[in-house]
Structure 1
């Protein structure tokens, strides 16, 4: 019934919306980010729109409807892979959040400029093409907002990790540090005093880092490549809406201003039949299957020897079958119950009823997909927002966590046994899945509706709160605070003077009385 309703709604919306020309800018050279940007743009193409996407990768399975033009940033993808090989990804576990965010800012600044230097992008900028709306991934690549000003089109942002400080700042969204933890801190919404203190201090640091370091670097790139456009800080705060890859079933509820829209799970497709070898493997595993994947950036084939040995020994002694995303041709010491795959159709695997546990790094896409299919989780977080996601998984009761530093045969074995033998994890996973699915319309339909809404209403400026037009010191009430403190200080000073004068007069009177006595 809900599918029929969603279809009818799309028909109504499409009837009221002309075919639009839409530019999507998704330059982050990570597969997980590309999956989200590509899914959104394909959904818009399926809705009958003419779509152009700038991204480091290309999709060979083009949408059947609409027009889908791909501008591949080959050099950005190659540069990212070169850097990825140079650094040891698993060493990021030891990286302090302050060092990590600074490192990410520098890394993003590099690919921001690589994108704009691309000959293919320069050709597009000089083409004279017109677009009805520009959708840009918001990942601290703020110079790319120049695409919207260059093509004189409304700007929509897509946040691939939901609401966070680098989105909230741009739309004046409140995020009280008392219960909204930063994405890079492993805190839940119920923080202790020391966690709230740390969270507040880290938010202040991040705010200053962006305004004093990140934004100036992006402004320099913006001014170089868009010299005749709107000034950088005018473009920075000009988003019509922000599409958020989040939902209260996958993350905890937080405040949103009216132009922030939840579309978490929009990339998930209806389950398809698996390749024959995988279908046979899963169908024949009546005792159940443990699916193991660390995503696209953190590759299990690059695990340090001791960590790898812990997984091998744990899997070897279980009676269950193991399906392992392993990026090399051979796994030394591969147990007989383990099946390998360099690439695995994760969504379709999680949909299979014989998959009992998903061992994952806790990335947001993997977390969303396992919630969608209601599969219990053993999270092994390494960096970025993975620890926060793992904390939520444990709190919501559909999984357990083994921190990367704590990986051992004993820890993995104990947590897997608990997940497999205690039915409450499966029950909670199904409950969480039910919350995910209980929506008026699907997340992709929601995304398409709001993109078309912005087009229909010429940028939908009526959705923006007044906070985006306030200088930072007014938004944070620093001027009011200074006024209150000044008034208080002056009042105390006056009170001090009055008290001192009264005391002085009393003392003089007492001295005079003593003289006359």
Structure 2
């Protein structure tokens, strides 16, 4: 009987602690959806009822996770993004492009049949988890379901994820997400960064948010102004870690969970295991991520890369889609897909050539592998600059990618032991944590649900107007007082001067 009551108590407690969670991840990018699915799967396995709208259909779906496939039009805006075109833009043009891309994508998302149908149905949710990346109008789902609002940033902390939480963002040491700077900037880089950060803030406040508000009012009739939802986000989970990213100040409801996507290792296939085991001089892994395709690189640069590989004694695994390559060197093995994390853990892998994507950079350092980064767009340039500044990477600009520049970078990392030593030291930092990042993410999601959005974590900065937050009213007051003081002082001095002048004239006349 005692056993029966104990089991009943556990069941009831389990049910009471479960929550209904809704999530929508719309970006047609494998890495973004991989991040979402990792977190949502963990929540479902812990007994929460999770519903996910996504353009990706996972192979395996666990119990309690309901996946609704969003079917985008054949020519949705996401498929039109060309990374090589973005690479040619100036920094501010990239910011405007990304923000406008987000606005266009939001319009597409809200008009997808599955989203419209879902909004018409009767649902109840305790929390909404959405991607914090040019997607402000998605907070309408929080209003629609009267649910706790939780953002998940697929990139490191930046103005987009920190601004709605009232987090300080100082341009003297925190670079803009799309800049090629690390946190250690010289005078001219700090000047450039300050201009860009200020311009981006003004552009977002006066152009982007009003456009998102139009989308919000259109698709969620009766919703409050976007500002009321934007600054009412209960929790921001940020994909950042001090082992790979520079430290920044964080308000209590911003939680770093970098590396939470890293899974337990799996056994390599026999072919890959034998290939890497036989690499007595070491092996190099080369991948441009899930969004970029090496086959799209122009022929002159592809030939430069092949010429470098041809001279190496190391074996090379190259993630490459297509049959564009000819005269492949005998030490190079191509594949349309490789188990990246399992390969990076192999002791014979001495170098990872990457585009500088955040997940790839984290996986490299988690397994202690130094990097040669060839960044393209988005946050890749900043990730690469930070990696080089930390000492575990060498950056080769795509514009300057030649046989000579790549050969120099590869030789530097392979020959100089400092890169491997720093990567392994950073790896120890990555592993030295009191709890898994995924456990931390789940805890804080459950925490804000338990505490009805946890308003006690909100900083008072969110209650200030923008001019109060920037102390512009104080500056204006000080300038006004100083002006009045100088004005009065001038009047007094002028009066004293006239009095003295009159007195002197009187004395002269008397004489």
Partner SS, residue 271 of structure 1: coil
Identify if the C-alpha distance between structure 1 residues 369 and 208 changes in structure 2 by more than 3 Å, giving closer, same or farther: same
The one-character-per-residue Cα deviations of 1:105-125 (angstroms, maximum 9, x if unpaired) are 111111111111111111111
- Give the equivalent residue in structure 2 for 1:375: 369
Which among 64, 69, 72 is matched to residue 69 of structure 2? Answer: 72
Identify if the C-alpha distance between structure 1 residues 321 and 419 changes in structure 2 by more than 3 Å, giving closer, same or farther: same
CA distance in structure 2 between the aligned counterparts of 1:81 and 1:181, rounded to whole angstroms: 26
Alignment of 1:83 with 2:83, yes or no, is no
Identify if the C-alpha distance between structure 1 residues 183 and 253 changes in structure 2 by more than 3 Å, giving closer, same or farther: same
Partner SS, residue 52 of structure 1: strand
CA distance in structure 2 between the aligned counterparts of 1:502 and 1:219, rounded to whole angstroms: 59
- Give the equivalent residue in structure 2 for 1:211: 205
- Give the equivalent residue in structure 1 for 2:242: 248
Alignment of 1:37 with 2:31, yes or no, is no
CA distance in structure 2 between the aligned counterparts of 1:47 and 1:270, rounded to whole angstroms: 18
Which among 131, 134, 157 is matched to residue 128 of structure 2? Answer: 134
Contact 2:71 2:114 in 1 (8 A): no
Alignment of 1:461-476 (within 5 A): 461-476=455-470
The one-character-per-residue Cα deviations of 1:71-118 (angstroms, maximum 9, x if unpaired) are 22221685245413xx4x223223111100101111111111111111
Runs of 4+ in structure 1 deviating by more than 6 angstroms, as ranges, are none
Alignment of 1:410-449 (within 5 A): 410-449=404-443
Contact 1:325 1:343 in 2 (8 A): yes
- Give the equivalent residue in structure 2 for 1:161: 155
How many equivalent pairs are there? 500
Contact 1:71 1:121 in 2 (8 A): no
Which among 188, 193, 210 is matched to residue 194 of structure 1? Answer: 188
Alignment of 1:20 with 2:19, yes or no, is yes
TM-score after normalising by structure 2? 0.94
Which among 110, 132, 139 is matched to residue 116 of structure 1? Answer: 110
Alignment of 1:108-507 (within 5 A): 108-507=102-501
Aligned-pair distance for 1:16?
9.3
Aligned-pair distance for 1:17?
6.0
Contact 2:284 2:351 in 1 (8 A): yes
CA distance in structure 1 between the aligned counterparts of 2:21 and 2:469, rounded to whole angstroms: 33
Contact 2:77 2:104 in 1 (8 A): no
CA distance in structure 2 between the aligned counterparts of 1:16 and 1:109, rounded to whole angstroms: 39
Alignment of 1:1-12 (within 5 A): none
CA distance in structure 2 between the aligned counterparts of 1:81 and 1:281, rounded to whole angstroms: 37
TM-score after normalising by structure 1? 0.93
Aligned-pair distance for 1:446?
0.5
CA distance in structure 2 between the aligned counterparts of 1:81 and 1:163, rounded to whole angstroms: 23
Identify if the C-alpha distance between structure 1 residues 16 and 189 changes in structure 2 by more than 3 Å, giving closer, same or farther: farther
Partner SS, residue 114 of structure 1: helix
Aligned-pair distance for 1:290?
0.8
Aligned-pair distance for 1:156?
0.6
Aligned-pair distance for 1:511?
3.3
CA distance in structure 2 between the aligned counterparts of 1:92 and 1:415, rounded to whole angstroms: 25
Contact 1:29 1:76 in 2 (8 A): no
CA RMSD of aligned residues (A): 1.7
Partner SS, residue 356 of structure 1: strand
